[in-house]
């Protein structure tokens, strides 16, 4: 049951905006077109049913987790997998932008004075989630389950109460519905308009794939539990969508940026903005924020998969690489915030960008599953084929399964095409352009790694000649415990040490030379005059002079003493010479720069 | 003559605002008080004369450059020197803020439509100078001299033409002077008001010290040339100040934020906003920008002195430390811009902060000089005492010199006190609070270095035991040319090498182990399993386990192979493991982290 709570927020939260977004399009043909919202909802429930059957099969086939990326990779190949990855990436970004925008729309419905600040509230919410995720959240199932169950209970209570009122004839129309400028200039009710409304409604099914990604979080028997959860979730989602749409139509709710349809429905059923109304709005807002949060949780997981296959920086493979992980979280937040700002925190403006990525990943995933059943059908009974994401064994009835996923692929493909065509000018073009760009970036990274691998390959590798000479240059700023510690290190790794001191003050240089005679352990000290008060430049010149005359079997180590202070601020008082040298000598072969730390203690 | 051009812009540019700022105060007592501006200007010329005599002596005593910091340090001690440094620092910041604000006031006078944008124009100008200085300007004397000479010629032409008109009776009053809200609510003409006006006027002498800092830029005989230049500059400055004040009074110019007195004078003398008017405004604006630029040039020079004495981060001692230098330039720009924004680019608002720092440095410098003559007078003839900034020899007539500098010190001290008291509430309090804070920061840095020096001291230093064991841990991500290069390095610096591989994939780990058997040169390979997909953590655990059991005469080096890619973007695809380890193991004794680069080539 925890599984439902964790993975359902993304899917269930869409009921907060799907009905309204259908109505926004229908409103173009006038209020008389609103009754289409009910058959359209049934259409979406059919789509949801198809997806549920399809994903139920995925869950059993990929008990280790069957996201679109894995299914496409194992069954369709590299390019479809990368395409699915790009689609998912955009799905995550838009899940954040849409969910937060819808959440803020609910807040603004309850507190209309906040309307002018909605963009900033939305950005602030994204930043809040970002900070939480940067600090690292333990995905505690119980904490996550409270808002989900609260939302489910609140929504069912509202819908059932509303239906009771409807059947007893006591359901009133909305008092003071928001004003919209549609009534005049009515559009004819064309087939294309109905398709556009349907496209908007498909936002309702975004997020149903979440469970198939997270099967490993379920208790054993995993696939069975996950599959059942999927079916329960789909049932809740479908019934809520139908109920909300039916009630919204019957109370005469109007789609508007200033008050959401959910808010109109709640205040009509609860007869005003009382406690129940507030509870309903809070429940809706919170589950939308939770939905946005899932994108933050999924994002590093997908990145790790990509990185493991060499299509994103390798270091993303590992968790706990805080720096890299942080880059990802911050990028996701910044891009989502930019979208929110550009589209003024309007779900209606954002929705044309949303579902296309989702349906692209659906299509690739279902088509990959169909391909998998084909492969399964052509194995010998008893034969096993191990793939990266799952193990293939012959199964009876593979033909039926192929038909189910094949049909799912066809339907989602058609929906995607409808969406792309009807929403092209509204913003879908952005996603259609961005997808190939993202895929190209993935490939550019991949080719870099391939090129590196071939450079590093040990085929035809001639073991380089044994090192004949290992010289050490020890940089000396003064004669003290720090430099003597470094000297000890230098003497240990070779017998061929030269100490070098850069001076801008002849007097000080004499003092250092005298001290070095006592403490320098017989090591030669070279003093480099720096009349122009430069430090790194004379040192580099000296090193490069030596490097020029080095044989291929010679090696040079620059040993740099480094004070380590306790505090970050005090550390700034001590130059990091090694870092500077390393940057300058990066491309010089056979030079190693070694920093020997000297801890200053308290 | 180049010397004049380079060092005069700071001093001469003040004529652009000194007269107006005197008038701003006098205006409080009504237009009838404006005639006081003429005796006040004479007072300021007397002050200028005293300063010129005083600094002439400094120039001869410190042929290597005698800024307030050096003179105070050599003659008064550490605290006065640090105080002088803090005063100079604030002088630089305010020179930028005041000069740029005045420059923008000139622009806005010529193009009144720009008035609402004056703050942004000012900030943009500061940023422009910042960028120029970050990119590094060659201080070309000729380029610098053109604007200075242009300004001098334009100003003399204007003043002489104005005086001719005055004496022939053809000088008209200003047409359409800017409106100011003073005429009513007149203040009585009190002595305090006159003192306040005088305080504002002292801005005219800010910058006269510039030559004494930059003596080394003059041709031999340096001191003589520099001294003559100082006298010429003072003469120009004094005569221009008198001329401008006299003419401004006689045309009935009114001080205003919307049109500068300079602009009113120019358009009255040139009878409208013709070519000569424009040339005059351009000349004034450009010299003000040049004055701001000198602060950018002086700032790193002063920082280097401070740093050399251990009161600022040591690395500032060296030029060419671009990073540090850039921090300074950016800080100067940001603080000056903030002041401009806070004080709305108004010279009148900024002036109470300005002169107090300048006069504090004047006082310390003159008092230091007086002290120096005392020391000179008490040497035996023929005796020499070498100080950091100059060499002391007995001189006849030291008593007269002492009197001149002592008198200078007294006068500048009195002016500072008058300024501090009359301007306290107007903004001088900010500087009075900031000065001790800055001095405290300098001392905090100094004490850190002193503590470090005592920690590092070799007195009572027991040479640590000879190292008995030097272990190397080689991190291995895969078996390839990069890791073998690192292995070769590791084998060269010790015989005691252990290779370590962190794995998240048992299959890959087997492959690596097999390859290591072939290429690993007999070195032991430890495989660390990382079930949670962590990388650095298991490695750190392993290292810390070893470190715990290390003897004081044991040493551990972590050798990390590092790919070096050509581009900065591609380098991001390769983790910098050594940096991460170094950060984590910073405070562990006897551990050195060495990155062995492997250049990937084209
Ligand atoms: K969703
Ligand atoms: K959904
Ligand atoms: K989603
Ligand atoms: K000045
Ligand atoms: K001046
Ligand atoms: K100055």
Domain boundary among A413, A447, A481: A447
Would you say B50 and B225 are in contact if contact means Cβ atoms under 8 Å apart?
A: no
Considering the domain architecture, whether residues B557 and B432 belong to the same structural domain is answered as no
Does residue A454 fall inside a structural domain? no
Q: In what order do the strands lie in the sheet with B591-599?
A: A524-529, A496-503, A469-475, A554-564, A591-599, B591-599, B554-564, B469-475, B496-503, B524-529
Q: Do B536 and A320 make contact, defined as CB atoms within 8 angstroms? A: yes
List the domain range (segments joined by +) for residue B112: 2-350+423-449
Considering the domain architecture, whether residues B434 and B473 belong to the same structural domain is answered as no
Considering the domain architecture, whether residues A351 and A487 belong to the same structural domain is answered as no
Q: Which residues of B touch A575 (CB under 8 A)?
A: 313-315, 321
Out of A461, A480, A589, the one facing B481 most closely (by C-beta) is A461
**pLDDT of A98-113, one tens digit each?**
999 999 999 999 998 8
Residue of B nearest to A570 (CA): B448
Out of A317, A457, A586, the one facing B480 most closely (by C-beta) is A457
Of B374, B380, B410, B407, the residue nearest B393 (C-alpha): B380
Distance between Cα B204 and ligand 4 center (Å): 7
**pLDDT of A127-140, one tens digit each?**
998 888 877 655 55
Does residue B112 fall inside a structural domain? yes
- The ligand placed nearest to the CA atom of residue B290 is 4
Neighbouring C-alpha atoms within 13 Å toward the C-beta of B104:
27
Domain count, chain A: 2
Distance between Cα A480 and ligand 4 center (Å): 45
Q: Do A320 and B457 make contact, defined as CB atoms within 8 angstroms? A: no
Of A519, A505, A529, A512, the residue nearest A476 (C-alpha): A512
Q: Tell me the C-alpha distance between B281 and B261, whole Å.
A: 11
Considering the domain architecture, whether residues B440 and B588 belong to the same structural domain is answered as no
Decide if pLDDT at A185 tops 80: no
Length of chain B: 602
Q: Which residues of A touch B492 (CB under 8 A)?
A: 467, 470, 493, 555
Mean predicted lDDT score pLDDT of chain A: 86
Q: Which of A495, A575, A591 should one mutate to test binding to chain B, selecting the residue with the greatest count of B CBs within 10 A? A: A575
Q: Do B456 and A494 make contact, defined as CB atoms within 8 angstroms? A: no
- The ligand placed nearest to the CA atom of residue B240 is 5
Does residue A575 fall inside a structural domain? yes
Q: Which of B136, B318, B322, B467 should one mutate to test binding to chain A, selecting the residue with the greatest count of A CBs within 10 A? A: B318
Q: Does B599 touch chain A (CB under 8 A)?
A: yes
Considering the domain architecture, whether residues B194 and B256 belong to the same structural domain is answered as yes
Q: Does A447 touch chain B (CB under 8 A)?
A: no
Would you say B296 and B129 are in contact if contact means Cβ atoms under 8 Å apart?
A: yes
Out of B461, B492, B555, the one facing A481 most closely (by C-beta) is B461
Out of B452, B492, B574, the one facing A563 most closely (by C-beta) is B452
Does residue A87 fall inside a structural domain? yes
Of A388, A458, A78, A310, the residue nearest B507 (C-alpha): A388
DSSP assignment, residue B117? G
Considering the domain architecture, whether residues B56 and B141 belong to the same structural domain is answered as yes
Does residue A456 fall inside a structural domain? no
DSSP string, B259-297: S-HHHHHHHHHTTSSSHHHHHHHHHHHHHHHHHHHHHHH
Residue of B nearest to A312 (CA): B573
Of A227, A480, A554, A523, the residue nearest B460 (C-alpha): A480
Predicted pLDDT of residue B322: 60
Q: Tell me the C-alpha distance between A358 and A91, whole Å.
A: 6
Distance between Cα A243 and ligand 4 center (Å): 76
Residues 319-378 on A with a CB inside 8 Å of B are 319-321, 323-324
Q: Does B457 touch chain A (CB under 8 A)?
A: yes
Of A488, A500, A493, A487, the residue nearest A471 (C-alpha): A493
- Peptide bond preceding B221 in cis form (omega within 30 of 0): yes
Structure tokens at B434: 């900031």
Out of B482, B534, B536, the one facing A456 most closely (by C-beta) is B482
Neighbouring C-alpha atoms within 13 Å toward the C-beta of B369:
33
Q: What is the CATH number of the domain that holds B308?
A: 1.20.1740.10
Predicted pLDDT of residue B602: 46
Residues 8-67 on B with a CB inside 8 Å of A are none
Q: Tell me the shortest Cα–Cα distance from B590 to chain A, in angstroms.
A: 8
Q: Do A595 and B592 make contact, defined as CB atoms within 8 angstroms? A: yes
Residue with tokens 């005069």: B8
Structure tokens at A13: 């939260």
Q: Does A586 touch chain B (CB under 8 A)?
A: yes
**pLDDT of A270-312, one tens digit each?**
988 889 999 999 999 999 999 998 888 788 778 888 888 888 8
Residue with tokens 């009504």: B30
Out of A318, A586, A597, the one facing B564 most closely (by C-beta) is A586
Distance between Cα A198 and ligand 3 center (Å): 18
Out of B320, B445, B481, the one facing A536 most closely (by C-beta) is B320
Decide if pLDDT at A183 tops 80: no
**pLDDT of A186-204, one tens digit each?**
678 888 888 889 989 988 9
Q: Which residues of A touch B537 (CB under 8 A)?
A: 320
Considering the domain architecture, whether residues A271 and A136 belong to the same structural domain is answered as yes
Would you say B316 and B324 are in contact if contact means Cβ atoms under 8 Å apart?
A: yes
Q: Does B444 touch chain A (CB under 8 A)?
A: no
**pLDDT of A207-252, one tens digit each?**
888 888 777 778 888 888 888 889 999 999 999 999 999 999 999 8
DSSP assignment, residue B219? P
DSSP string, B247-266: HHHHHT----SSS-HHHHHH
Mean pLDDT by 10 residues, chain B (602 residues): 75 93 89 89 92 87 82 89 90 94 94 90 92 70 80 94 91 82 67 88 88 79 87 94 94 90 93 90 94 84 83 75 70 92 91 88 90 86 80 83 88 87 86 89 89 82 80 90 89 90 85 90 88 78 88 89 80 79 82 87 56
Does residue B338 fall inside a structural domain? yes
Considering the domain architecture, whether residues B431 and B475 belong to the same structural domain is answered as no
Would you say A245 and A41 are in contact if contact means Cβ atoms under 8 Å apart?
A: yes
The percentage of residues in chain A with a pLDDT greater than 70, rounded to a whole number, is: 95
Out of B488, B532, B600, the one facing A452 most closely (by C-beta) is B600
Out of A319, A480, A570, the one facing B457 most closely (by C-beta) is A480
Q: Do B445 and A573 make contact, defined as CB atoms within 8 angstroms? A: yes
Domain boundary among B386, B415, B449: B449
Distance between Cα A67 and ligand 3 center (Å): 12
Q: A554: exposed, middle or buried (C-beta count within 10 Å: 0-12, 13-18, 19+)?
A: middle
Q: What is the CATH number of the domain that holds B519?
A: 3.40.50.620
DSSP string, B533-564: -BSHHHHHHHHHHHHHT--TTEEEEEEEEEEE
Sort strands B391-393 and B384-386 into parallel, antiparallel or unpaired.
antiparallel
- In whole angstroms, how large is the CA radius of gyration of chain A? 32
Considering the domain architecture, whether residues A305 and A268 belong to the same structural domain is answered as yes
Q: Tell me the C-alpha distance between A566 and A574, whole Å.
A: 12
- Peptide bond preceding A402 in cis form (omega within 30 of 0): no
Instruction: Spell out the long-range contacts of A546-554 with Cβ–Cβ below 8 A and sequence spacing 24 or more.
Output: A546/A471, A546/A473, A547/A588, A547/A590, A547/A591, A550/A590, A551/A468, A551/A469, A552/A464, A552/A465, A552/A590, A553/A464, A553/A465, A553/A466, A553/A467, A553/A468, A553/A469, A554/A467, A554/A468, A554/A469, A554/A470, A554/A471, A554/A590
Considering the domain architecture, whether residues B534 and B434 belong to the same structural domain is answered as no
Predicted pLDDT of residue A106: 94
Give φ, ψ of B294 to 5 degrees.
-60, -35
Residues 538-557 on B with a CB inside 8 Å of A are 555
Q: Which residues of A touch B596 (CB under 8 A)?
A: 592
Out of A320, A461, A533, the one facing B304 most closely (by C-beta) is A533
Q: Does B171 touch chain A (CB under 8 A)?
A: no
| Predicted ipTM of the assembly | 0.72
Predicted pLDDT of residue A184: 54
Distance between Cα A315 and ligand 1 center (Å): 29
Does residue B405 fall inside a structural domain? no
Considering the domain architecture, whether residues A429 and A557 belong to the same structural domain is answered as no
Distance between Cα A127 and ligand 2 center (Å): 23
Beta-carbon count within 10 A of B313 CB: 20
Map residue B591 onto helix, strand or coil: strand
Would you say B50 and B369 are in contact if contact means Cβ atoms under 8 Å apart?
A: no
Instruction: Spell out the long-range contacts of B77-84 with Cβ–Cβ below 8 A and sequence spacing 24 or more.
Output: B79/B439, B80/B364, B80/B367, B80/B368, B81/B309, B81/B364, B82/B311, B82/B439, B82/B442, B82/B443, B83/B360, B83/B364, B83/B435, B83/B439, B84/B360, B84/B361, B84/B364, B84/B365
Distance between Cα A234 and ligand 1 center (Å): 13
Distance between Cα A85 and ligand 1 center (Å): 17
Considering the domain architecture, whether residues A493 and A563 belong to the same structural domain is answered as yes
Q: Tell me the C-alpha distance between A308 and B537, whole Å.
A: 19
Q: Does A455 touch chain B (CB under 8 A)?
A: yes
Distance between Cα A211 and ligand 2 center (Å): 12
At A333, is the pLDDT very low, low, confident or very high (cuts 50, 70, 90)? very high
Q: Do A592 and B489 make contact, defined as CB atoms within 8 angstroms? A: yes
- The ligand placed nearest to the CA atom of residue B296 is 6
Q: Do B592 and A589 make contact, defined as CB atoms within 8 angstroms? A: no
Distance between Cα A351 and ligand 3 center (Å): 12
Map residue A547 onto helix, strand or coil: helix
Distance between Cα B92 and ligand 4 center (Å): 9
Residue of B nearest to A599 (CA): B587
Predicted pLDDT of residue A602: 46
Would you say A215 and A226 are in contact if contact means Cβ atoms under 8 Å apart?
A: yes
Would you say A566 and B452 are in contact if contact means Cβ atoms under 8 Å apart?
A: no
Does residue B244 fall inside a structural domain? yes
């Amino acid at each position: 049951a925890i599984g439902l709570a964790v993975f359902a927020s993304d899917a269930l939260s869409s009921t907060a905006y799907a009905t309204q977004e259908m109505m926004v399009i229908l409103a173009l043909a006038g209020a008389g077109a609103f009754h289409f919202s009910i058959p359209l909802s049934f259409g979406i429930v059919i789509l949801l049913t198809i997806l549920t059957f399809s994903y139920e099969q995925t869950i059993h086939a990929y008990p280790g987790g069957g996201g679109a990326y894995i299914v496409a990779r194992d069954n369709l190949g590299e390019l479809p997998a990368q395409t699915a990855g790009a689609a998912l990436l955009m799905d995550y970004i838009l899940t954040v932008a849409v969910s937060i925008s819808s959440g803020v729309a609910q807040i603004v419905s309850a507190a209309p004075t906040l309307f002018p600040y909605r963009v900033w509230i939305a950005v602030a919410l994204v930043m809040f989630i970002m900070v939480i995720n940067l600090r690292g959240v333990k995905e505690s199932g119980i904490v996550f389950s409270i808002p989900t169950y609260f939302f489910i209970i609140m929504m069912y209570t509202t819908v059932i109460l509303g239906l009771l009122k409807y059947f007893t004839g006591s359901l009133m129309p909305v008092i003071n519905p928001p004003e919209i400028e549609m009534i005049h200039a009515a559009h004819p009710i064309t087939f294309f308009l109905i398709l556009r409304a349907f496209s908007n409604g498909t936002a309702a099914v975004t997020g149903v794939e979440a469970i198939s990604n997270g099967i490993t979080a379920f208790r054993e028997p995993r696939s069975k539990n996950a599959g059942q959860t999927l079916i329960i979730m789909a049932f809740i989602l479908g019934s809520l969508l139908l109920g909300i749409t039916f009630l919204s139509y019957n109370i005469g709710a109007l789609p508007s940026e200033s008050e959401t349809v959910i808010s109109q429905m709640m205040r009509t059923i609860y007869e005003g903005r009382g406690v129940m109304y507030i509870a309903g709005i809070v429940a809706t807002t919170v589950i939308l924020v939770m939905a946005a949060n899932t994108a933050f949780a999924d994002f590093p997981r997908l990145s790790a998969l990509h990185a493991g296959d060499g299509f994103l920086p390798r270091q993303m493979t590992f968790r706990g690489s805080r720096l890299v992980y942080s880059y990802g979280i911050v990028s996701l937040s910044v891009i989502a915030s930019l979208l929110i700002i550009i589209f003024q925190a309007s779900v209606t403006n954002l929705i044309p960008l949303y579902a296309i990525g989702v349906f692209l990943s659906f299509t690739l995933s279902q088509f990959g599953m169909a391909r998998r059943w084909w492969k399964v059908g052509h194995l010998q009974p008893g034969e096993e084929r191990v793939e990266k994401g799952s193990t293939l064994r012959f199964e009876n009835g593979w033909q039926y399964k192929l038909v189910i996923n094949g049909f799912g692929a066809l339907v989602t493909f058609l929906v995607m095409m409808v969406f792309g065509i009807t929403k092209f000018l509204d913003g879908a073009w952005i996603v259609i352009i961005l997808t190939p760009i993202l895929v190209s970036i993935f490939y550019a990274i991949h080719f870099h790694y391939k090129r590196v691998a071939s450079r590093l390959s040990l085929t035809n590798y001639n073991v380089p000649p044994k090192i004949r000479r290992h010289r050490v240059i020890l940089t000396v700023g003064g004669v003290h415990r720090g430099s003597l510690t470094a000297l000890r290190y230098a003497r240990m790794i070779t017998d061929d040490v030269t100490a070098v001191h850069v001076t801008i003050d002849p007097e000080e240089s004499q003092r250092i030379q005298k001290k070095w005679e006592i403490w320098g352990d017989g090591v030669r000290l070279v003093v480099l005059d720096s009349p122009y008060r430069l430090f790194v430049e004379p040192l580099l010149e000296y090193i490069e002079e030596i490097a020029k005359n080095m044989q291929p079997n010679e090696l040079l180590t620059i040993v740099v003493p480094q004070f380590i202070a306790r505090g970050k601020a005090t550390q700034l008082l001590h130059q990091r010479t090694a870092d500077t040298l390393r940057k300058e000598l990066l491309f010089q072969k056979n030079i190693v720069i070694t920093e020997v730390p000297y801890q200053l203690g308290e």
